Structure 1
Amino acid sequence: MNFFEIINPNIEKLTKNEYEILDYVIKHMNEIHNQNIREVAAACFVSTTTFLRFVRKIGFSGYSEFTTVIKYTVLNDQEKPAATATFDMKQSDYREEYLKNIEETVRVLDDNKLNSLCELMMNRPKIFIFAKGFSKYAAEYVEYLYTLEGFLVVFPKNFEQRKLAYRNIGKDDLVFVMSYSGDDQELIRIIQVIKNQCDFASLVSVTGANNNSIQNLSDYNLYVFSDEIHDKKIEITSHVSMIVIMELLLYQFREYKGGQENV
């Protein structure tokens, strides 16, 4: 059984503190399956009793099942071969999986994170978007959408532009890094440069739900579910879920803004 399949029905029940524990767990799955409950609880700054209560709340009978499923999920992610083409499965099956991925992406969205981002967006920061490969096409739509909302959006399209753009990021700006794999070395270096500055912007990652470097370096993590698909060694993984996340954030901002203006 996959870790994310078990926790998904229980995400909405979590408190703000429990969301923070879940965020830590997702970021450190590679280490957690080899640690005992005292070590993990201490890393989350909670008691073992609190952590065990959290484990049961997200759908596990106990800590042993929790770590076993995490280990299985990590190994499965490492060993699972990419699909060779979109057309290998029946159209009806693909539709079902396609819709399921979008549904899971929406379900695990953390309202607390979205509201925190909306609060930052109320200050009308410059918005920087960094994306490469197939993610660039999703980012182009996001650039258009957020520009229509009145934000100054900077979306560098190539290596030279990205190298110049990150030098102009201010401490009050908002940086989105869109990468399904979460392990692109150029984007990781850009994030590291930004974080090494004395005053750095808020960093938001939009990546796959696997544990990856970009999400670990970010201040806010928004997780995407999608089946990784390659055709003739070219990635054609659906990026619709990335667009869904960015649209929902913008719609929540509009609602948040309206609520603040009516206060």
Structure 2
Amino acid sequence: MKLDELINKYSDNLNENDFMIWDYISNHRKECEKLVIDQLAYKCNVSRTTILRFAQKLGLKGYSELKLYLKLENQEAKENTSDMDKVCETYYNVINSIKQKDCTEIFEKIDSARNIYVYGIGMVQSSVKKELKRVFMTSGKIFYDLGGYKEAEFCLNSVTSEDLFIIISVSGENEFVNDFASKLKVKGIPIISITKLKENNLSKISDYNLYISAVTFDNKINNVKYDSITSYFILVEMLFFKYVEYQKEKERI
């Protein structure tokens, strides 16, 4: 049985950290084949014990057996693995990650916030902000869209700890965005970050973290790299569905 199949088989036993570990391994298969357990733990920003438990949750004896599976699969893998397979696996990882994540505290913050602001700089961020506003509006939640630099600085004068910020960043390393997030933190304003699944400073500043798996393709037509951004929209829709379920569960209590 392949590692992908083991992930599917034991997905109910895996938590957010486990899916983060798998996301890194699946996107760096050749590299991880040669990493010792401490190196992989450092790459994934978790403890070596967490890596060991991840392997055991897949029914493996330990990390050595996990590496053996990975080495055998790398040998069998074709060099011309299709971009279609890569992107489908990326979408699957995002769906499973958010499906398994406990979002109760996030939803409590959304429900209790006086105002909810969505902030991000860039074309991708702008599209994701609009989608967040659109889907949550159907549940009666109004998200205020903030963009640019001056608008963010002006907003600092009026927001309070009763408000909530959702900050969208591809890398999580934009200097202005992180400085802005730090200022919000000083004022006690809760922050939810949406970034790529990797260690980044915005995630460290934020109170709650949502991640997407991303994949970049070499466009052989004109030699321009193409970044798939559909994962952001999958995350937004899955988050909304979980929010609807959360509200239904509250009504039953």
Does the 8 Å contact 2:41/2:51 carry over to 1?
no
Residues 240/25 of structure 1: CA separation in 2 closer, same or farther (3 Å cut): closer
Matched with 1:208 is 196
Matched with 1:97 is 86
Structure 2, unpaired ranges of 5+:
24-37, 68-79
Residues 102/185 of structure 1: CA separation in 2 closer, same or farther (3 Å cut): same
Q: Displacement of 1:224 after TM fit?
A: 0.7
Matched with 1:137 is 127
Alignment of 1:193 with 2:193, yes or no, is: no
Q: Cα deviations across residues 140-195 of structure 1 (Å, max 9, x unaligned)?
A: 22222223432231211221112222443332333212112121111111111111
Q: Displacement of 1:65 after TM fit?
A: 7.8
Q: Cα deviations across residues 55-104 of structure 1 (Å, max 9, x unaligned)?
A: 5326765457889xxxxxxxxxxxxxxxxxxxxx99xx333322221111
Does the 8 Å contact 1:126/1:151 carry over to 2?
no
Query: What RMSD in Å do the two structures reach over aligned CA positions?
Result: 4.1
Distance 2:167 2:4 in 1: 25
SS at match of 2:168: strand
Superposed counterparts of 1:29-44, under 5 Å: 33=39
Distance 2:40 2:53 in 1: 20
Distance 2:208 2:58 in 1: 21
Q: Which amino acid aligns with 2:230?
A: V
Does the 8 Å contact 2:165/2:189 carry over to 1?
no
Superposed counterparts of 1:97-246, under 5 Å: 97-109=86-98, 111-123=100-112, 125-133=114-122, 134-197=124-187, 199-201=188-190, 203-229=191-217, 236-246=226-236
SS at match of 2:181: helix
Q: Which amino acid aligns with 1:196?
A: V
Q: Displacement of 1:249 after TM fit?
A: 1.4
Does the 8 Å contact 2:131/2:236 carry over to 1?
no
Distance 2:88 2:141 in 1: 30
Distance 1:189 1:12 in 2: 38
Alignment of 1:12 with 2:29, yes or no, is: no
Q: Which amino acid aligns with 1:178?
A: I
Percentage of matched positions with identical amino acids: 18
Does the 8 Å contact 2:164/2:189 carry over to 1?
no
Residues 103/65 of structure 1: CA separation in 2 closer, same or farther (3 Å cut): same
Matched with 2:57 is 57
Does the 8 Å contact 1:126/1:174 carry over to 2?
yes
Q: Which amino acid aligns with 1:193?
A: K
Q: Which amino acid aligns with 2:211?
A: Y
Structure 1, unpaired ranges of 5+:
27-31, 68-88
Q: Cα deviations across residues 109-164 of structure 1 (Å, max 9, x unaligned)?
A: 26443232223333254221111222222212222222343223121122111222
Residues 60/179 of structure 1: CA separation in 2 closer, same or farther (3 Å cut): farther
Distance 2:224 2:159 in 1: 32
Q: Larger RCO: Structure 1 or Structure 2 (Cα < 8 Å, ≥ 6 residues apart)?
A: 1
